[in-house]
């Protein structure tokens, strides 16, 4: 245990990730979320994060104009419900919402609700994928709020959403704004139909993809000296078998909690925020960044 410094001590904060199946009925998903969030709070969690677009099944597997009906404004019904849970349980809740911002303008958005139910802010997914079964560019306008950290009662919370998780720039910029824990709601899985490149014949799961997913997010923790908490849905919806595997790692990338691939979970982890400064003192990467030499990161490619 470190001795208290002149700025005082920060105690460990318990967080929880709600790894859940998503039902075709939005109301059912909200009820499940409430039950699980309540259970997490009873087990001591002070910050609870739900998976990406938890109110619906993953509709981006195809391009359907009618799916836009699933969107809602912020604040709107889901924000208000989560705010009620947060206020009642006195916890911070991070929820993912299909946001209708204006006619024809939709985002994949995260809301952060403080322990008094107040909406601290929102983050709109910045990196939008478009791949077979993940036709997100059809639905989601790229975020325009940049990378953010939100000051809440229990920690400074950074948010990224799914595809963002593959971008070191997103993690860096979020950490530079003061985030102590990066929460990453996600919806990622194995295509059911593919067996070659995506899935090996020997194993039920192609761990190569899951391992890459784990690795790059653990690397965000290491590069930035922050906790990373990624929460995925689980279960099969149409052509995707969502791989669960939600996890929390410490500021040096060590996994401190991890869920399975096959079942729902309320995954708790204790995050001792003092580890952030400890780790950064021992591995002072932030100190030596060459900010004079990173300008070209805003370029697409260096054409020869």
Residue 15 or 160: which CB sits closer to a copy of itself?
Answer: 160
Counted residue by residue, the chain has a size of: 304
Q: 148 burial class (0-12, 13-18, 19+ CB within 10 angstroms)?
A: buried
Give the strands of the sheet with 227-232, arranged side by side.
149-151, 156-159, 181-186, 227-232, 247-249, 255-258
Q: SS3 for 107?
A: strand
Residue 286 is a binding residue for a copy of itself (CB under 8 A): yes
The least distance separating a copy of itself from the CB of residue 30, rounded to whole angstroms, comes to 30
Distance (Å) of CA 99 to CA 57, 141, 304: 15, 10, 41
Question: Which residue among 22, 49, 60, 162 is the active-site one?
Answer: 162
The least distance separating a copy of itself from the CB of residue 49, rounded to whole angstroms, comes to 22
CB 245, CB 232: distance < 8 Å: yes
Residue 297 is a binding residue for a copy of itself (CB under 8 A): yes
Residue 1 is a binding residue for a copy of itself (CB under 8 A): no
Touching a copy of itself, residues 173-192 (CB under 8 A): 173, 176-178
Residue 292 is a binding residue for a copy of itself (CB under 8 A): yes
The least distance separating a copy of itself from the CB of residue 218, rounded to whole angstroms, comes to 5
The least distance separating a copy of itself from the CB of residue 2, rounded to whole angstroms, comes to 11
Cα 96 to the center of its chain, rounded Å: 9
**Of 41-49, 66-74, 266-274, 287-295, which part binds a copy of itself (CB under 8 A)?**
287-295
∠ at Cα 245 (241, 251), nearest 5°? Answer: 145
Q: Tell me whether residue 52 is one of the annotated catalytic residues.
A: yes
Distance (Å) of CA 25 to CA 22, 42, 57, 110, 140: 8, 26, 8, 20, 21
Residue 256 is a binding residue for a copy of itself (CB under 8 A): no
Binding residues vs a copy of itself (CB under 8 A) = 126-129, 131, 142, 146-147, 149, 151, 163, 166-173, 176-178, 197, 208, 211-212, 215-216, 218-220, 222-223, 252-254, 282-286, 288-302, 304
- Catalytic site positions: 52, 125, 162
């Amino acid at each position: 245990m470190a001795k208290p410094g002149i700025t005082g001590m920060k105690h460990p904060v318990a967080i929880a990730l709600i790894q859940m199946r998503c039902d075709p009925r939005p109301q059912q998903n909200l009820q499940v979320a409430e039950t699980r969030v309540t259970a997490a709070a009873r087990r001591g969690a002070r910050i609870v994060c739900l998976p990406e677009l938890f109110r619906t099944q993953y509709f981006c597997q195809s391009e359907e104009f009618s799916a836009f009906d699933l969107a809602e404004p912020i604040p709107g019904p889901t924000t208000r419900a989560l705010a009620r849970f947060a206020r009642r349980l006195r916890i911070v809740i991070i929820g993912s919402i299909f946001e209708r911002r204006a006619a024809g303008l939709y985002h994949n958005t995260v809301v952060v609700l403080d322990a008094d139910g107040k909406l601290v802010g929102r983050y709109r997914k910045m990196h939008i994928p478009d791949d077979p079964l993940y036709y997100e560019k059809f639905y989601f306008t790229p975020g325009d709020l940049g990378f953010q950290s939100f000051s809440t009662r229990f920690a400074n919370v950074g948010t990224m959403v799914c595809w963002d998780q593959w971008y070191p720039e997103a993690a860096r910029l979020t950490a530079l704004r003061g985030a102590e824990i990066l929460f990453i709601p996600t919806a990622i899985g194995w295509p059911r139909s593919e067996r070659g490149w995506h899935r090996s014949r020997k194993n039920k799961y192609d761990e190569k993809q899951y391992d890459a997913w784990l690795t790059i997010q653990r690397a965000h923790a290491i590069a930035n000296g922050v906790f990373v908490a990624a929460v995925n849905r689980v279960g099969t919806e149409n052509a995707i078998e969502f791989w669960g595997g939600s996890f929390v790692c410490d500021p040096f990338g060590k996994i401190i909690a991890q869920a399975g691939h096959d079942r729902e979970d309320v995954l708790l982890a204790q995050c001792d925020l003092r580890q952030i400064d400890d780790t950064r003192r021992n591995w002072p990467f932030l100190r030596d960044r060459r900010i004079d030499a990173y300008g070209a990161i805003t370029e697409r490619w260096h054409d020869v």
